[in-house]
Amino acid sequence: WADANVSRQIEDTVLYGYYTLYSIILFCVFLWIPFVYFYYEEKEDDDGNTCTQVKTALKYTLGFITICAVLLLIGAFVPLDIPNKKNSTEWEKVKLLFEEFGSSHGLTALSFSISSLTVIGMLAAITYTAYGMSALPLNLIKGTTSAAYERLENTEDIEEVEQHLLRIKSKCRDGRPLSSRDRRTVQQLEERLRTLRRRERHLESIEKSWWTKFCEAIRPLKIVWGVFFIIVALLFTVSLFLSNLDKALHSAGFDSGFIILGTNLTNPLNMLLPVLQTVFPLDYILITTIVMYFIFTSMAGIRNMGIWFFWIRLYKIRRGKTRPQALLFLCMILLLIVLHTSYMIYSLAPQYVMYGSQKYLVQ
């Protein structure tokens, strides 16, 4: 059946699917997320009308659209291999660029743009995913401080502040007024006392909530999951090491993108996935689990580290207190990490990604 037009139709459907999904990613990264980010920035800086905020956001977003257009033009009109013809004119060279762009149907332009974003996603994965692969299981094993223990510490702080207030106020029992320094200290201590009492009420409600009791009940299960995630992280580390070692030793070299003609040093995932493919849909379940694992570890890394620009912390990720701009940054970072994950899966299981359980029939 592959000799008929059926295979061509399947290939076109898959190609148009990739066009659509990758175009949505470009739209989100270069247009939608920057526009909403600058809209909220303008909303916080200036309480003007909505029309002014939209205009300012569009003005800043135009820079991102320009970057996207430059990437598309570079990918479309810079061929990797230009034939050297001595008698060719400049017009013929330009005509060759347009012919290549037409023959590829814009695939090179989209591929270059997505590859550029994938490089940024690789840096985000090195920063956040790698940290999250160790932070997530360790946090599950270590656990968090219980609400009862925090409430006990908070009660001790309240008693300490009250005693400090009594010592200062005892100075004016004989009718002498307090000094300006003591009055400022009393104001600060009273403000801190009000904050501690509000925190005590908050911790009391948390301690009595059903969610806290449920988390305490599944505490042994969290430890089991933490140990399991450590084993999974080690499995991925070994698989990536063996796959890249195979590329370094047996690939066709840099010019071919380190493509491997056959598998010489196999890894556990590369062995497991083709076997699971014979029983539908076990391989899809495992691939989905791998992708979700990288997403959860990336979110754990971002939550623990926050969002940084080199050495400057831009935003913190906190439950119920995260700013809208930080959530937009979180979405963009996850988009880029997922792009890099699609490339990293090829390194994890090159045989499965390229051919699955199929093999060439040697004539």
**pLDDT winner (highest mean) among 87-91, 102-106, 173-177:** 173-177
Q: pLDDT grade, residue 337 (50/70/90)?
A: very high
Torsion on CA atoms 237, 240, 245, 248, rounded to nearest 10: -140
Among the residue ranges 99-103, 214-218, 273-277, the one predicted with the least confidence is 99-103
Q: pLDDT grade, residue 94 (50/70/90)?
A: low
pTM of this structure: 0.73
Q: Taking 70 as the threshold, does the pLDDT of residue 87 lie above it?
A: no
Task: With residue 313 as reference, give the H or E element that holds it.
Answer: strand 312-315
Cα three-residue angle 260-261-262, rounded to 5 degrees: 95
Q: Taking 70 as the threshold, does the pLDDT of residue 317 lie above it?
A: yes
Average pLDDT over residues 277-298: 88
pLDDT the model gives residue 263: 63
Average pLDDT over residues 167-195: 77
Q: pLDDT grade, residue 85 (50/70/90)?
A: low
Helix locations, 125-218, DSSP H: 130-142, 147-169, 180-208, 210-217
CA-CA-CA-CA torsion sign (297, 299, 300, 301): positive
Q: pLDDT grade, residue 122 (50/70/90)?
A: very high
What average pLDDT does the chain have? 80
